[in-house]
């Protein structure tokens, strides 16, 4: 057992191992143009690392797929509002 301050460093992308999308069909998160994003967004809603995922996508200018529960278009809007 580790004390809370002795936990091993999971690294910068360690959150990805805890992401619910890692346990589901990846195709749902990268739908064809015009395809439904509903299934992916439903998974994101219940995910504990949703905020880290969205932060990563925004910081790395991810242009495809559902990240942190948002589509590429929704992330662009969010970035414009933040500027």
Residue ranges for the known binding site for [4Fe-4S] cluster are 21, 44, 47, 53
Q: How many domains does the chain have?
A: 1
| HSE (side-chain half, CA atoms, 13 Å) at 32 | 1
Q: Determine, yes or no, domain membership for 3.
A: no
Beta bridge partners of 67: 70
Assign 6 a pLDDT band (cuts: 50, 70, 90). Answer: very low
- Quickly list DSSP for 7-70: PPP--TTTHHHH-GGGGS-GGGGSPPTT---HHHHHHHHT-TTHHHHHHHHHHTT--SS-BTTB
Helix axes 50-59, 72-82, angle to 10 degrees: 70
Residue 1 lies in a domain: no
Predicted confidence (pLDDT) per residue in 32-44, tens digit = 888 999 999 999 9
Is residue 70 in a domain?
yes
pLDDT tens sequence across 10-25: 566 789 999 999 999 8
In a domain, 32, yes or no: yes
The range of the structural domain enclosing residue 22 comes to 12-82
Neighbouring-strand partners of residue 70: 67
List, as residue ranges, the binding site: 21, 44, 47, 53
Banded model confidence at residue 8, pLDDT cuts 50, 70, 90:
very low
């Amino acid at each position: 057992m580790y004390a809370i301050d002795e936990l091993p460093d999971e690294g910068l992308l360690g959150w990805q191992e805890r992401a619910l999308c890692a346990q589901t069909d990846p195709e749902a998160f990268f739908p064809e143009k015009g395809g439904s994003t509903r299934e992916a967004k439903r998974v994101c809603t219940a995910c504990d690392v949703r905020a880290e995922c969205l932060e990563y996508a925004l910081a790395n200018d991810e242009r495809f797929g559902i990240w942190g529960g948002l589509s590429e278009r929704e992330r662009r809007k969010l970035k414009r509002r933040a500027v």
